[in-house]
Amino acid sequence: MTEATDVKTKPPKKKKRWYSPGKIILYLFVLIIVAGAGLFFRIPQKIGLVKGPAEQLFTITPDSEKAAVVMADLQAAGLNTQGVEVYVLPVSGTDDNVAMVVLDASKGFNFNSSGSADPVKDFLTVAAKAQQQGINRAAVAYYDENGKPLATATLPTDAAVAYSQGKLTDRQLMEKVDVGTDNLWAFISMIREQLK
């Protein structure tokens, strides 16, 4: 017997596989988290990988003549237009136009001094008239006192026309209205601020 036979050799280390079931689940989990965070923070849009619907449709030069008509209609409806801007955006590849009415609190807009008993009804009157300008959708975008966009409401102008003709009830009209935001946290912050 030699001494060498007594030396215990270490068992070979098990090579770690990257594809063990546990690791695959972990990788998938991380991937889902990263993808979710990317979507949540709109990373693909921010780095230009994905174009949002607005960036796809609103590439054409805004129609300042139609915007001036809509602005005049807002004034004629008795609305205080301080801090109000109007952009009529032609829709790429169609004859459609979307009128965006910006209510910017950082430039002096204030609902309390809008000069209207019912700003929604006044807006509907203007939206119905705007259809004569080839505008088939109207939207109102509200900007806060820091000039940040908070929320947007939109409806097709034919719904406004139907409402003005008494063909739609208040409820039916509201079914046609969509509301949204691109800046949820700013919106929540605004509410928190207001509630202080």
Partner 1 sequence: MRRTILILFIFIIALLPFLSACDSSDVQELINWAKLWAIVHDITNEDGQPNFGTITRFTVGEAFGVGSTGDKEGDAAIDSARVLNDIRQAENEADQGWEALYKGQNIKESVLPHYDQAINLRPDDWSYRNERGIAQLENLDNPDNAKAAKADFDKATALAKKSGKPAEYLRMLKNREQAMARMVAHDNDINAYPTKDMYLEQSRTYDELYKLTNDKTYLLLKQQADTNLQEGHYWQRDTGK
Residues that bind partner 1 (CB under 8 A): 36, 39-40, 42, 45, 52-64, 85, 87, 89-93, 95-96, 98, 100, 102, 111-112, 114, 116-121, 136-137, 139, 141, 149, 151-152, 154, 156, 170-171, 174-175, 177-184, 187-188, 191, 194-195
Nearer to partner 1, 20 or 56 (CB): 56
Q: 141-157 burial, b if ≥16 CB within 10 A, otherwise e?
A: bbbbeeebbbbbbbbbb
* Shortest spacing between CB 25 and partner 1, in angstroms: 22
* Shortest spacing between CB 159 and partner 1, in angstroms: 11
* Shortest spacing between CB 158 and partner 1, in angstroms: 12
Enumerate residues 6+ apart whose C-beta is below 8 A from 78.
Answer: 115, 116, 122
User: What tokens were used for 155?
Assistant: 């409806």
Nearer to partner 1, 7 or 106 (CB): 106
* Shortest spacing between CB 124 and partner 1, in angstroms: 10
d(CA 147, CA 143): 5
Nearer to partner 1, 24 or 32 (CB): 32
* Shortest spacing between CB 58 and partner 1, in angstroms: 5
Nearer to partner 1, 11 or 53 (CB): 53
Tokens 């050799």 locate to: 9
d(CA 156, CA 69): 18
Nearer to partner 1, 119 or 125 (CB): 119
Q: Following DSSP, what letter does each residue of 148-196 receive, concatenated?
A: -EEEEEEEEHHHHHHHHTT-S-HHHHHHT-EEE-S-HHHHHHHHHHHH-
